[in-house]
Structure 1
Amino acid sequence: MKKKIIILSMCLILGISGLGYYFLSYVPYRSAVTKFEDIVKDLQEKNKEVENQIAEAEKVIDSGEEPLDSKKLEELKKAIEDSQNLLRKVPEMEKSTAKIEEQIEELSKPVDYSETIKNLSDKQTLYQNSILQLKQITNPSNTFVEERLKEISSITGVQSVTENNDPNNKLNKQGGYTASVYFVDNQVTHSVEGSDIVQKGNDAGGNVEVYRTKDEAEKRNTYISAFDGTALNPGSHYVYGTVLIRTSHYLTGTQQKELTEKIYNKLIELK
């Protein structure tokens, strides 16, 4: 009888101990683990949004296409780096309940990546737009140049050269331009002779010459610059992409600069 009482007492003690462990240790531990896993899952989902945006931006960079403004590429790379540094890291779960609860408290702090994602998206768009802008001034067609010149209020007429009326005899020849569009600008008040715009030439307003490569455009620009300050004053001349923008020597320096900028901005305008 005494032996049975002892056995029952031991069973009771073990049962109470087991219940104590279950409710005081195991249940809190499992609860902490579950909560930790839920919070980590939520954080991983939020991180994934940023990681997807980073991956998309990196894919665009990896294409290797050149932007008009190289700063746009550096700004996008910086945005990617900043985004990676801002991501809240997912830690390894601790062993003890108390330590897990500390992790839960830290991970429960609000996290908002909306500005990070927006910044990445904006920088990517600016970079991609810059790529498109460079393409627009890389060997554009005469039709494209004509259309953009016509949108400038002071330009009252445009005409592309053909192989039959090309005053320089360079159209479509090796090292020559692929398009040459002359234009008349109403800021030129000096009388200029010629039966049409091509014959009036650069003096009546200006000219946009298009080359296959930037080197060819620069070579032509160097040739023209040899006449600067001479009786054969060629007016202003600047290379952008593979395009050479020229304006009449009858315009003032300020007018030349402003007209060149207007033409350049029209050529790179995205629509």
Structure 2
Amino acid sequence: MRNVLLLVVAGVASVGLLTACGGGDDASESPKPSLTMSAEPLNTDGGSQPSGVTAQQVLARLTGKVSVAKPGTVVTAENDKNKLLGRPHQYTTKVTFVDSRIAASDVQGMDKDDLQRGGAVEVFGTVEDAKTRSEYIQTVTKSLPSLAEYHYLDGPVLVRVSHYLTPQQAADYEAALQG
């Protein structure tokens, strides 16, 4: 009887562990993007290796090609409003940028590093983590048009661009990211 009881307890514990590790990752449940645009990722290894690129390096490439973009704030563990930097499956580096085509009156009262002033570059450890972050933001902002934003993915890099830019203006960032 004692052996049967031990087997039952071990079986229940195993099922509990498997259930806790599972996650309901049904892709059919994720909403389709609205304003979000995505470039085909250049890093197609599935994201199993860290990219080695930083958000600052990506932003330097973007600002070199989009002359109206200027660096904003380098996000650190201390100033990260979202408290995501370096956390499991979150961005490993992040930097904001401003775009001079956005009217000051549109962003009046916003923090100097607010994404709506231009955008942000977030770099993740894997391609999948970047996609997951993009999908999460889309889900949260879908019913709030004032928070909508453009997204451009390139491997583990997510470039988020303010909705105050026109689609054509925002596409400048996609072209700069790809080229």
Q: Under a length normalisation based on structure 2, what TM-score does the superposition of the two structures give?
A: 0.64
* AA aligned opposite 2:118: G
2:54 corresponds, among 122, 141, 146, to: 141
The alignment status of 1:68 with 2:42, answered yes or no, reads yes
Q: Residue 247 of structure 1 aligns with which residue?
A: 161
1:143 offset after TM fit, Å?
3.4
Matches within 5 A, 1:1-271: 68=42, 138-151=51-64, 152-191=66-105, 192=107, 193-194=109-110, 196=112, 198=113, 201-226=114-139, 227-228=141-142, 230-265=144-179
Contact 2:130 2:157 in 1 (8 A): yes
Contact 2:96 2:121 in 1 (8 A): yes
SS in 2 for 1:206: strand
Q: Which has the higher contact order (CA 8 A, sep 6+)?
A: 2
5+ unaligned residues in a row in structure 2: which ranges? 1-40
SS in 2 for 1:179: strand
Structure number with the higher strand fraction is 2
How far apart are the structure 2 equivalents of 1:228 and 1:260?
A: 21
Q: Which is higher, the Rg of structure 1 or of structure 2?
A: 1
RMSD of aligned Cα (Å) = 2.7
Contact 2:152 2:159 in 1 (8 A): yes
Deviations 1:127-150 (A, max 9, x none): xxxx9xx9xx93512331342233
% identity of equivalent residues: 32
Structure number with the higher helix fraction is 1
Deviates most, 254-263 or 163-172: 254-263
Contact 2:118 2:162 in 1 (8 A): yes
Deviations 1:6-58 (A, max 9, x none): xxxxxxxxxxxxxxxxxxxxxxxxxxxxxxxxxxxxxxxxxxxxxxxxxxxxx
Contact 2:43 2:155 in 1 (8 A): no
Contact 2:96 2:115 in 1 (8 A): yes
Q: Under a length normalisation based on structure 1, what TM-score does the superposition of the two structures give?
A: 0.43
Change over 3 Å in CA distance of 1:232–1:168 after alignment to 2: farther
The list of structure 1 runs, each at least 4 consecutive aligned residues, that deviate by more than 4 angstroms after superposition, is none
How far apart are the structure 2 equivalents of 1:249 and 1:139?
A: 29
SS in 1 for 2:87: coil
Q: What is the number of residues matched between the two proteins?
A: 132
5+ unaligned residues in a row in structure 1: which ranges? 1-66, 71-130, 266-271
